A and B are shown apart, each in its own frame.
Chain A
Amino acid sequence: MKFSTLLLVDDDAAHSTLVERNLRRVGYNRTIIKLENGQEALDWLDNNRLENLVPEVPFILLDINMPVKNGIEVLEQIKSNQDTKHVPVVMLTTTDDPNEVKLCYKLGCNAYITKPVIHNEFKEKIRELGLFINILSSPMEQ
């Protein structure tokens, strides 16, 4: 199983840009598709039927607070759909409400990362995330 594509779902372009730059810095060189709301993410998944892509599966970084369709709804739909429930979803959001964290794990998210305001912490978190995705998306024999 390999990840060829990273879906970066965030309505805030500044955040997307920061995340993208930091991922690139740790050497992540696969495709990063930036989407601005939850509906776009679901549409993308619909348009790229998973059967066609197997064994390549997208990796989703999902913000929560978004217009049109928020991250919680997207998460719920992805994880309740037999076709998409194995797609890794990492919540990447500014909200740190414990209730929301609990809810997301309940709905099946694979990780929940709060974007720290303190930039060094932010960079560190994204770096670790990038390294992790790198490992996942590298060919097995490496």
Chain B
Amino acid sequence: MQEKRSFYFLLIIMSAVAFIVMAITNVILYQVSFEERSQSLVATAQSQARLIEAMARYNRRTNRIDWETPVGERGPTSLLSERAAADTISQLRDAHSNYEGIGKTGEFLIAGIEGEDIVFLLAHRHGKPDELEPIPLYSGNSEAMRRALFVESGVMVGKDYRGVEVLAAYEPVDVLNFGIVAKVDMDEVRAPFIHGVIITGLISVFVIFLGGLLFRRISNPIVQKIVDSEKRYRSLVEEINEWVWMTDENGVLIYSSPIVRQILGHDRDEIINQELTSLVEDKSKAIVNELLTGGQRKLPFTNLQAMLLCQNGDLVPMEFSAIPMFGDHSEFTGYRGVARDISERIEAEQIRLTYQETLERQVKERTQDLRDINEELKTFTYIVSHDLRSPLVSIVGFSSEVKDDIAVIQQADLALPEQVKQIVDDIIPESLTYIDKAAEKMEGLINSILALSRIGRRDLTFEQIDIAKVVENNLKAIAYQLDKVDVRVTELPTIVSDASAMEQIFGNLIGNAAKFLEAERQSTIEIGAVKHTDYWEFYVRDNGKGIAESDVPHVFDLFKRFGSHNIQGDGMGLSYVQTLIRRLGGRVQCQSVLGQGSVFTFSLPIDAASLGE
């Protein structure tokens, strides 16, 4: 709408300029032409006057007119002899009858005064002189002739004898006491200009129309572009979820995007022209005011958090960012910025905090639980090493006492009944043997559990360990078992780990492989390592007896022994291995096929130092 008005306004200005230029041009042209016309009329009038005078002088000479009478006293008739005057007039008439005249309306008049009237002697175009009625000297018409007859010379615009406006040059004719007027109708003088004005006007209108059209053609896309861009930015500002605002140098809102209604419930028109701080909760008011209008006001600010008042009295946490604006003379004119509703973020932060607290508490609880369990484990070790063992000492001790006592009885060589003698000699010693065996086994179990629990609690010492050395030592220790075995060791790394743990792990795995070899075929034991991105994988493979599928998952269990029980062992080796590997941050697994062999694989982290244990 605004653009259209501007366009029309522009068009009007253009037209006005065109018309003014046209008018000035025409006026100047008119003046020049008017001047030219005037001069030509004057020239005509004067030349005619001088000619008539010459003619009159000649006629007077030939007609012997009394020349002594002063001119002022002569009447038209008395001036010349009738004849001389008549001659001159007839000569003039004759001359003028063959003359077309000046232009369309140009006319040449000669008149004299008779009494109080102007009497026309010659009217070149509009009629014969006798047909022209004399007109009174002071009628107002034919002013030019009156002046000529009063011996004035010049040019003027006035009414002729017909009462029509004309441009007239007037000149007195000496000798004959006539006046000459050369005149042309003003209409004729003006006609070309009126015509010209109409034509130039039409051309101007056409050119202006064309110009307007072209202007629209050219400016429309530009205007459209600007309008579109404006629309785009407006929608950007007004449709984003952030409140866009502008304040003047006093912190008074001069713009607000409509989103404010959704955020705070205020209508935008209702808050414009209010101070921004009037929307801010009391606590944050001072700081916001300071930023918007205080000494620091020329600096941009970001992430200023403040609570804003809703229309319904609620508080909304918002985060402000703004940049200062400056006028043409670098004077501060206010701030322009955005504010976003951060209640969701704050809520999320709250939830996160709560969650974190819960998590931390849980971790603390669990850690405490673990500590408790560890503590219990220590107590457990105690129970095993003392409380379980102590009664065993008594059992074995007293069984031995009884054995000694029986021996005493046997040596006494008493005459006992056969049945009693058998009891003393055979049954009691046999019972005592079983008691001892059971106690011995019990002690073995206790020692194993104790050993395992100690492995689990022992402090690990990390150092550089050449695994190849460890393996070599272990193989040497059981070399007597391996003289017919094909032992293949691939390249083994040096790693950071606990020496005695590595000793125990490889000792057990290699020992097991050697222990369960199949005598009926060529035995092979392979030991090697594979490097992965963050861990080493070691393996000990044999082609020995293997383990039944159903037993594989239990190989690492306490006291588990498989296969023939005539092979020595407490069933604890693999439990130790598993415990140690776990403590070193790795995992161990077993794959086996009964009758074909087993492979034990275990991983150890390359960066063992990261074990905080």
Measured in the bound complex, the distance between the Cα atoms of B31 and A51 in whole Å is 158
| Chain A residues near B396 (CB-CB < 8 A) | 117-119, 122
A81 to chain B, nearest CB (A): 26
| Chain B residues near A115 (CB-CB < 8 A) | 389-390, 393
Known: A94-B386, A95-B386, A117-B439. A15 touches B394 (CB 8 A): yes
Interface string of B393-414 (1 = CB under 8 A from A): 1101111110000000000000
The reply on B387 being an interface residue by CB < 8 A is yes
Are B382 and A95 touching (Cβ within 8 A)? Answer: yes
Measured in the bound complex, the distance between the Cα atoms of B561 and A4 in whole Å is 53
Are B382 and A97 touching (Cβ within 8 A)? Answer: yes
CB-based nearest B residue for A11: B390
Are A96 and B385 touching (Cβ within 8 A)? Answer: yes
List residues 404-460 of chain B with CB under 8 A from any CB of chain A: 436, 439-440, 443, 454
Known: A12-B394, A18-B394, A95-B382. A118 touches B387 (CB 8 A): no
Measured in the bound complex, the distance between the Cα atoms of B394 and A14 in whole Å is 6
| Chain B residues near A39 (CB-CB < 8 A) | none
Measured in the bound complex, the distance between the Cα atoms of B398 and A21 in whole Å is 11
Are A118 and B443 touching (Cβ within 8 A)? Answer: yes
The reply on A93 being an interface residue by CB < 8 A is yes
Are B386 and A18 touching (Cβ within 8 A)? Answer: no
Are A117 and B389 touching (Cβ within 8 A)? Answer: yes
Measured in the bound complex, the distance between the Cα atoms of B389 and A65 in whole Å is 12
| Chain A residues near B397 (CB-CB < 8 A) | 14-15, 18, 119, 122
Measured in the bound complex, the distance between the Cα atoms of B447 and A96 in whole Å is 10
- Among B381, B399, B400, point to the contact of A97 (Cβ < 8 A): B381
List residues 12-61 of chain A with CB under 8 A from any CB of chain B: 12, 14-15, 18, 21
The reply on B392 being an interface residue by CB < 8 A is yes
List residues 54-78 of chain A with CB under 8 A from any CB of chain B: 64-65
The reply on A123 being an interface residue by CB < 8 A is yes
Known: A15-B393, A97-B381, A117-B443. A123 touches B386 (CB 8 A): no
Measured in the bound complex, the distance between the Cα atoms of B396 and A104 in whole Å is 27
Q: Which of A12, A119, A120, A123 has the most CB of B within 10 A?
A: A119
How many B residues, CB 8 Å from partner? 21
Are B443 and A94 touching (Cβ within 8 A)? Answer: no
| Chain A residues near B398 (CB-CB < 8 A) | 14, 18
Are B393 and A123 touching (Cβ within 8 A)? Answer: no
| Chain B residues near A98 (CB-CB < 8 A) | 454
| Chain B residues near A97 (CB-CB < 8 A) | 381-382, 385
- Among A64, A93, A117, A120, point to the contact of B392 (Cβ < 8 A): A117
Are A18 and B393 touching (Cβ within 8 A)? Answer: yes
| Chain A residues near B390 (CB-CB < 8 A) | 12, 15, 65, 94, 115
Are B400 and A94 touching (Cβ within 8 A)? Answer: no
| Chain B residues near A18 (CB-CB < 8 A) | 393-394, 397-398, 401
| Chain A residues near B387 (CB-CB < 8 A) | 65
| Chain A residues near B400 (CB-CB < 8 A) | 119-120, 123
A120 to chain B, nearest CB (A): 8
| Chain B residues near A123 (CB-CB < 8 A) | 400
B288 to chain A, nearest CB (A): 66
List residues 117-131 of chain A with CB under 8 A from any CB of chain B: 117-120, 122-123
B268 to chain A, nearest CB (A): 78
| Chain A residues near B399 (CB-CB < 8 A) | 119
Are B393 and A122 touching (Cβ within 8 A)? Answer: yes
Measured in the bound complex, the distance between the Cα atoms of B394 and A94 in whole Å is 11
- Among B381, B401, B440, B454, point to the contact of A118 (Cβ < 8 A): B440
Q: Which of A15, A65, A93, A94 has the most CB of B within 10 A?
A: A94
| Chain B residues near A12 (CB-CB < 8 A) | 390, 394
| Chain B residues near A120 (CB-CB < 8 A) | 400
Q: Which of B382, B393, B401 has the most CB of A within 10 A?
A: B393
Measured in the bound complex, the distance between the Cα atoms of B385 and A116 in whole Å is 11
| Chain B residues near A95 (CB-CB < 8 A) | 382, 385-386, 389
| Chain B residues near A94 (CB-CB < 8 A) | 385-386, 389-390, 393
B375 to chain A, nearest CB (A): 14
Measured in the bound complex, the distance between the Cα atoms of B385 and A65 in whole Å is 11
B272 to chain A, nearest CB (A): 81
CB-based nearest A residue for B381: A97
Measured in the bound complex, the distance between the Cα atoms of B439 and A123 in whole Å is 16
A17 to chain B, nearest CB (A): 8
B521 to chain A, nearest CB (A): 41
B244 to chain A, nearest CB (A): 72
Measured in the bound complex, the distance between the Cα atoms of B399 and A123 in whole Å is 13
| Chain B residues near A117 (CB-CB < 8 A) | 389, 392-393, 396, 439-440, 443
CB-based nearest A residue for B392: A117
Measured in the bound complex, the distance between the Cα atoms of B390 and A65 in whole Å is 10
Are B394 and A64 touching (Cβ within 8 A)? Answer: no
B392 to chain A, nearest CB (A): 5
Interface string of B359-398 (1 = CB under 8 A from A): 0000000000000000000000110011101101110111
Measured in the bound complex, the distance between the Cα atoms of B382 and A93 in whole Å is 12
Measured in the bound complex, the distance between the Cα atoms of B401 and A98 in whole Å is 30
Measured in the bound complex, the distance between the Cα atoms of B446 and A116 in whole Å is 13
CB-based nearest B residue for A65: B386
| Chain A residues near B439 (CB-CB < 8 A) | 117
Measured in the bound complex, the distance between the Cα atoms of B397 and A120 in whole Å is 9
Measured in the bound complex, the distance between the Cα atoms of B396 and A98 in whole Å is 24
Measured in the bound complex, the distance between the Cα atoms of B439 and A96 in whole Å is 18
3 nearest A-B pairs in the assembled complex, by CB-CB distance: A14-B394, A119-B400, A18-B397
Could you pull out 28 A-B pairs where Cβ atoms are within 8 angstroms? A12-B390, A12-B394, A14-B393, A14-B397, A15-B394, A18-B397, A18-B401, A21-B401, A65-B382, A65-B390, A94-B385, A94-B389, A94-B390, A94-B393, A95-B385, A95-B386, A97-B385, A117-B392, A117-B396, A117-B439, A118-B396, A118-B443, A119-B397, A119-B400, A120-B400, A122-B393, A122-B396, A123-B400
Write the residues of chain B forming the contact surface with A, with a CB cutoff of 8 angstroms: 381-382, 385-387, 389-390, 392-394, 396-401, 436, 439-440, 443, 454
Contacts A12-B394, A15-B393, A15-B397 known; 12 new A-B pairs at CB < 8 A:
A12-B390, A64-B386, A65-B390, A94-B386, A94-B393, A95-B385, A95-B389, A97-B382, A98-B454, A115-B389, A117-B396, A118-B443
